[in-house]
Amino acid sequence: MEIPFHKSYTDETDTAAVVEAINSGWLTMGPRTFEFENKFKEQVNATHAVAVNSCTAALHLALKVTGLKPDAEVIIPAMTFTTSGEVVRYFNANPVIVDVDPETHNILPDSIEQAITDKTRVIMPVHFGGQPADMDPIMAIARKNNLLIIEDAAHCFPSFYKDRPIGCIGDITAFSFYATKTLACGEGGMATTDNPEWDEAMRVQRLHGISRDAWKRYSKEGSWFYEVIDAGHKYNMTDIQAALGLSQLKKADLMWRKRSAIAERYNKAFAASELIEAPVIRSGNKTSWHLYVIRLAIEKLTIDRNRFIDALAERQIKTSVHFIPLYRHPYYQKTCPTDIGKLKNSEWLYERIISLPIYPGMTTAETDYVIENVLEIAQKNAR
Ligand SMILES: Cc1ncc(COP(=O)(O)O)c(C=O)c1O
């Protein structure tokens, strides 16, 4: 059996939606993009949703419209993708990389408090793998210190924190619709907010800084006239992407149920093992199950994480590592040197994490094949 790390879950309804968009004669941002924004914001209880071409773009615009300045500091977790640091560096501002919870891999409120200085402007939690960070204490710290909360919800559709969907808690929330994400447009992103000024500013910024949506120029009420009011960006979503997004949205719940069933099967199988630790989901949290990350009890094994991954690959099971802690990358070592001694949990996690395949089209036989091989490799290499 060959198990890829990810396989997209698309069917003929997705294909038909995309073909319909192409045949409509309108390929770029237009009616399907606005319909996608409206449907998405309802799903996450947000007042506004701005569709863009990636989560990275959504985070960049969020920092821009909330006024990030050079030399300001933004607190981010160590267990994240480079996006978290990259978007801060666009402004010549400084990411401050802090430690995470060893069980949930999410940013720790205590680490945030310790990292606040008079230059801190924003806290940017990442909801790891789809499980929300502990937002109540994080929001309280932000309000007490007059900081903004911009959430990286790239992994989070659909995720809930204490019955509230991720997308309506912080000041601005950014989602990803990248090919491997729980709702996929190939590439794509969305910024949600309850603030009408930031909504309007992000709409302007996503399309070159033009004062009104250029697409209107070509519609019935449009005219040739437009004004450029800032050096904006070319970050808009296209109607082809939005058609796929709308079609995927209709099966979001089905896809979530399928991923949850796989996670439950994994959980049950690993619960009895002393060598493999399953993800810990805190009560009150609902995860999207974008990732299923196990932790190896490496003290009890004769092989390390890398050799474990190789052994799985020899059995045709592809896995990944989320994430290489951000401070380990050469760029971040150069631009924001971090005291690794203060990031003990991230270092501890990095030695033992493996992301197993989890995607809606994965069959029970495929799931069992992964389970069998993970347990067998662990047992064969137990001390
Ligand atoms: C935590 C996190 N944030 C942001 C991103 C970037 O998303 P996008 O590719 O849509 O820009 C990713 C991508 O994998 C991610 O894992």
Predicted confidence (pLDDT) per residue in 261-276, tens digit:
999 999 999 999 999 9
Contact between 129 and 290 under an 8 Å Cβ cutoff? The reply is: yes
From the alpha carbon of 176, which atom of ligand 1 is closest?
A: 10
From the alpha carbon of 187, which atom of ligand 1 is closest?
A: 10
Does 28 have pLDDT greater than 70?
Answer: yes
Contact between 330 and 339 under an 8 Å Cβ cutoff? The reply is: no
* Percent composition of the chain: helix, strand, coil (DSSP 3-state, to 5): 40, 15, 40
Rounded distance from Cα 299 to ligand 1 centre (Å)? 32
Pocket probe mutation, ligand 1, options 5, 6, 50, 178, max atoms within 8 Å of Cβ: 178
In angstroms, rounded to a whole number, what is the distance separating the alpha carbons of residues 318 and 9?
18
DSSP-derived secondary structure for 136-170: HHHHHHHHHTT-EEEEEETT-TT-EETTEETTSSS
Output the CA–CA distances (angstroms, integers) from residue 354 to 30, 47, 98, 320, in the order listed.
41, 37, 21, 6
Model confidence at 213, in pLDDT bands (50, 70, 90)? low
pLDDT at site 337: 85
**Which residues line the pocket of ligand 1, CB cutoff 6 A?**
54-56, 80-81, 83, 126, 152, 154, 176, 178, 189
At 44, the amino acid letter reads V
Does 215 have pLDDT greater than 70?
Answer: no
In angstroms, rounded to a whole number, what is the distance separating the alpha carbons of residues 302 and 294?
17
From the alpha carbon of 80, which atom of ligand 1 is closest?
A: 1
Pocket probe mutation, ligand 1, options 6, 50, 159, 176, max atoms within 8 Å of Cβ: 176
pLDDT at site 211: 87
Does 153 have pLDDT greater than 60?
Answer: yes
Q: Pairing relation of β-strands 276-277 and 189-193?
A: unpaired
R_g over Cα of the chain: 21
- Compute the average pLDDT of residues 29-37: 97
3-state class (DSSP) for residue 135? helix
Rounded to the nearest integer, the mean pLDDT of the chain is 96
- Compute the average pLDDT of residues 4-18: 97
pLDDT at site 225: 85
Torsion sign over Cα 289, 185, 38, 63: positive
C-beta neighbour count of 264 within 10 angstroms? 12
At 160, the amino acid letter reads F
Does 354 have pLDDT greater than 90?
Answer: yes
Rounded distance from Cα 154 to ligand 1 centre (Å)? 5
pTM for this model (two decimals): 0.97
Structure tokens at 94: 């400084």
Please classify residue 279 by burial: count the beta carbons closer than 10 Å to its beta carbon, then call 0-12 exposed, 13-18 middle and 19+ buried: buried
- Compute the average pLDDT of residues 70-79: 98
Q: Which residues are catalytic?
A: 181
pLDDT at site 115: 96
Q: How crowded is the C-beta side of 72, counted as CA atoms within 13 Å?
A: 19
Pocket probe mutation, ligand 1, options 52, 53, 54, 56, max atoms within 8 Å of Cβ: 56
